[in-house]
Structure 1
Amino acid sequence: LADSLATVITIDPQIAIENWTSLGKKLMGKSTHVRNVGIAPNDVILLNYPPKGNEKAIGLDFRTVPKQYRTVLKARQLQDVFLSGPLELVQGGMAVIARFPVFNDYPQNKDYWGSISVVIDYQSLMRVSGFSALSNAPIAIRGVDAEGDNGEVFFGDKQIFQNADFTTSINIPNGEWIVGAQFDRGVPLNLSRQLLALRIGLISLGLLIFAAVFALWRSYRVVRRFAHEDELTGLYNRRYTMNHLNQLTAGSYKRQSFAVLNIDLNGFKAVNDTYGHEAGDQLLKLVANEILNGVRMTDVVARVGGDEFIVIMHRVKHEDSAQRLADSLRQKIEHRVLHWGTATIQPSLSIGVAVFNASEHTVKDVLIRADEAMYRDKAQQRTS
């Protein structure tokens, strides 16, 4: 997963910058038609790979190029990849650009870091799809910046759309291109064969676009998801939890209190030893779902270890309030059972509670206090 540039930037932008050559090379290797890839913190191009031939783009502030900046903002608004162009590059040549927004607080996506631009060679796409050979034919394509019928014509004569014999669309990520054609009846080729040739070209172009973008798109979305998600339970993982806690204790968030519940599943090793790891996995899933259903939608639930969970409860100021919530959660979960073959497995929890107050505690302090409280609860259960 380390080759996901968006993920690396989210976790540590400095690592991405220091390892730019290897990261850029890996990302470019995912698609045949990629010309170069660049990163733009705060929407100013800092690095391009390969550097040769792309020197003129370094330092470009997208805000000074309104047409490009509009598509950068569109990707940010969508919180997803957006296909920009075809357009003329600052460093020369025509390209279609896949814009990938990067946020420091994924998946909340409120703290914007900047963008990744994957530059796809437009001429290469058109040549391999066969459209370049049709440059003198009565064919046109419109939809610059994925705007379909509302977009400018970028291939052929725009007059073709005024009296087109045939129109169709090419679906691209978060938009479409529109193709129009007039059949040249002076050419000794019947209309059905012309239509067939056009459709083959359209299919080829559509496939090439998705071949160029889809691997990057899928990597971006799937890898970003799993970089912050526990694969077994679907809850957030330790990485996401620590990032979120650090955000809660920085800037404007710092004045807000929150509670941390450290939840440990008692006797989990015995379940694995007695019934097998598959039973243990099912028990973890059951507990994870019950925790998730037992807290507010605004709370964060994470699996941070083999049998350890953390709940971050926002806007909780008093420890007794957090303890009541913890007791209610424990009662709810411990009344559930997992039926495994002829056996019934009943979960048992140890829960530690700590409330963060910015004037008194750091993230490390509140986690230590929650952990210590959890072990006190575990010891008390053993003696009772």
Structure 2
Amino acid sequence: MGRYTRRQIAVAIILTIITIISIGMIEHLNSNQRAFIRDRIQDEARGDLSHIRAQLEAAILSDIYVLSSLTTLVSLSPNNDLSSWKEVARRIKRKSRHIKVIGLAPDDVVRFIYPLQGNEKVLGLDYRTVPKQWASIDRAREIENIFISGPVSLVQGGQALIVRIPIFTDPPNNKHYWGVCSAVISMDTLFLDAGVELFSFRYNIAIKGVDSTGNYGEIFYGDEQTFNDAFATETVHFPYGSWYIAASQKQDVLNQMPWNHRDLVRIMGYLVLATILLAFYAVYRLYQMADARALHDELTGLPNRRYFMFSLESLFNEQAKEPDSISLFAILNIDIDKFKAINDRYGHAAGDKVLVACAQRIKGALRSSDLVARIGGDEFLALLPRFNQSEEVETICVKVREAISQTPVVYKQHLIEVKASVGFVRYRDDFQSVEEMLHLADQRMYAEKREK
């Protein structure tokens, strides 16, 4: 239990208590009423299973994303100059919670392995001499895409996935095959973080799809009966292939009670259950409303200044600890030009519509990993993590300007032309605080505004 967060434990306890109380009350209801309540509980479980599916996809794709820096290094080093290999591998493993071992195999022979300790015997291994491993590598090269094999049992205990990334030195033509990058992903930490273990406390869960074969593959978690009795299923999608997940109800304890015990307090049990569910729903809705108001802008739905500053400070502190990181971050300060004139001419309702439209356009112009927030009035801030070239930031600035001004905002019979000024700043080691970065981005935004 020590590996669970306090929030996970609290959620598990609350859900378990609610489930126990609900089952106890359901025991006093007739069959139709029991079926109705059971369906409601299973609806919630379907949502939980969908969340698990999304968490598994996000965790695996996140690990693959950090591996991309290594494959890029190889593809850009045609002379096999991999002197920085160890440092890159060390950073990748540190940034990923699930990656345990990373290997490079030019011409499908393992020449680089990290960490080396405990894996010395792997060096020099020709994958073509190991049929089980060669099958997945050959498949990755054939499809020219990432292939996830396993799970496989580890010598030191536990299970792991093996990610195979084929490397070509002439992307996107992919005519010159260099070799393969392999990574071992721990199933234990992956399933823990995705919530599989917590979910299994209340429901049966099973997963099939060894070697990314989806619904047609072998079962590697749970048993076949779960699929036969499933009330919910989900598909975990990979860059190539998938897993198939099913959930079923644990043993039904409702029929273990004598019928007269259920009937004696049927009405009272129904009323108590309804009261508990309504009270829980009311508290949950109040929490959602309070949380949304505390961290999001009510008009645009974007994160507010408090949310943004928390994210920015976390990223700033992380970057300060790793000054030699191969990826940096940047801040954009975006201000709507002549917004006061729009309010004065068309009214505040029109101004609100312009702000909502601009929020949507800015968000659409950014990458999925970027964060945009409205910090007040007509000012927006965007946080751009993980970029390697300065030109990437300048390109995003151009996209934001064009997205905002490309089409007018329609308000009643009016077409309102909108433009914006954008100032940006990239992280440097000499910045002492986030306020210093924000001040510089603000200055550059106003400098651009004055030039118009």
TM-score between both structures, scaled by the size of structure 1:
0.51
Over 3 Å counting, the alpha-carbon distance change for 1:357 and 1:185 in structure 2 is: closer
Aligned pair partner of 1:248 in 315, 319, 325: 315
8 Å CA contact 2:431–2:437 kept in 1: the answer is no
Give me the identity figure in percent. Answer: 30
1:224 equivalent in structure 2: 291
Taking only aligned residues, the RMSD between alpha carbons, in angstroms, comes to 4.2
Asked whether the equivalents of residues 318 and 355 of structure 1 are also in contact (C-alpha less than 8 Å), the reply is no
Of residues 11, 14, 17 in structure 2, which corresponds to 1:83? 14
SS in structure 2 opposite 1:230? coil
Structure 2 unaligned residues grouped into runs of 5+: 29-40, 49-250
Displacement of 1:352 after TM fit? 0.3
Counterpart-to-counterpart distance in 2, 1:271 and 1:365: 31
SS of alignment partner, residue 299 of structure 2? coil
Measure the CA separation in 2 of the matches of 1:253 and 1:201: 60
Write the distance in 2 (CA, Å) between the matches of 1:229 and 1:359: 31
Match of 1:123 in 2: none
Aligned residue type for 2:7: R
Instruction: Report the Cα offset of residue 273 of structure 1.
Output: 1.0
Q: Does 1:234 pair with 2:301?
A: yes
**What's the secondary structure of 1:315's corresponding residue?**
strand
Please name the residue that 1:300 is paired with.
371
Supply the AA of the counterpart residue of 2:364: N
User: 2:333 touches 2:423 (CA, 8 Å); kept in 1?
Assistant: yes
* Structure 1 position 357, deviation (Å): 2.1
What letter corresponds to residue 277 of structure 2 in structure 1?
F
Q: Give the counterpart letter for 2:404 in structure 1.
A: I
Distance apart, 1:327 and its partner CA: 1.3
TM-aligned CA deviation for residue 362 of structure 1: 2.2
Structure 2 counterpart of 1:278:
349
Q: 1:349 offset after TM fit, Å?
A: 0.3
* Amino acid aligned to 1:354: V
Change (3 A) 1:254 1:311: farther
Aligned residue runs from structure 1 range 204-219, under 5 A: 204-219=271-286
Please say if residues 405 and 419 of structure 2, whose CA atoms lie closer than 8 Å, have aligned partners that are also in contact.
Answer: yes
- The verdict on how the C-alpha distance between 1:198 and 1:230 changes in structure 2, with shifts beyond 3 A counting, is same
CA distance in 2 between counterparts of 1:275 and 1:82 reads 53
Q: Which residue of 2 aligns with 1:343?
A: 414
Structural mapping, 1:147-296, within 5 Å: 180=254, 198-251=265-318, 254-255=321-322, 257-296=328-367
Match of 1:315 in 2: 386
Residues 217 and 73 (structure 1), Cα distance of their counterparts in 2 relative to 1, 3 Å cut = farther
Taking the aligned partners of 2:266 and 2:2, their CA distance within structure 1 comes to 29
Deviation at 1:341, TM superposition (A): 2.3
Structure 2 partner of 1:372: 443
Which of 426, 433, 437 is the matching residue for 1:362?
433
Query: Which one-letter code corresponds to 1:146 in the other structure?
Result: T
Contact 2:335 2:379 in 1 (8 A): yes
| Separation in 2, partners of 1:364, 1:244 | 13
2:123 aligned residue: none
**In 2, Cα distance between equivalents of 1:200 and 1:225:** 37
Range moving further from structure 2, 314-323 or 271-280: 314-323
Deviation at 1:208, TM superposition (A): 2.6
**Which of the residues 146, 167, 180 maps onto 2:19?**
146
Aligned-partner Cα distance in 1 for 2:420–2:260: 82
Residues 1:360 and 1:72: Cα distance change in structure 2 (over 3 Å): closer
TM-fit CA distance, 1:301: 0.6
Cα distance per residue 1:287-319 (max 9 Å; x no partner): 000001110111001001110001101113554
Q: Give 2:376's aligned amino acid.
A: G
The alpha-carbon distance between structure 1 residues 273 and 186, as it changes in their structure 2 partners (threshold 3 A), is closer
Q: Which amino acid aligns with 2:385?
A: H
Task: Give 1:209 shift.
Answer: 1.6
Amino acid across the alignment from 1:332? A
Structure 1 pair 216–73 and aligned structure 2 pair: CA distance change class (3 A): farther
Matches of 2:413 and 2:18, distance apart in 1: 60
Superposition deviation, residue 361 in structure 1: 4.4
Q: Structure 2 vs 1, CA of residues 81 and 279 (structure 1 numbering), >3 Å: closer, same or farther? A: farther
Query: How do 1:96-111 residues align onto structure 2 when only pairs under 5 Å count?
Result: none
Letter of the structure 1 residue corresponding to residue 402 of structure 2: Q
TM score, norm. by length of structure 2: 0.44
* CA drift at 1:149: 11
After superposition, the Cα gap between the structure-2 partners of 1:215 and 1:295, relative to the gap in structure 1 and judged at 3 Å, is: same
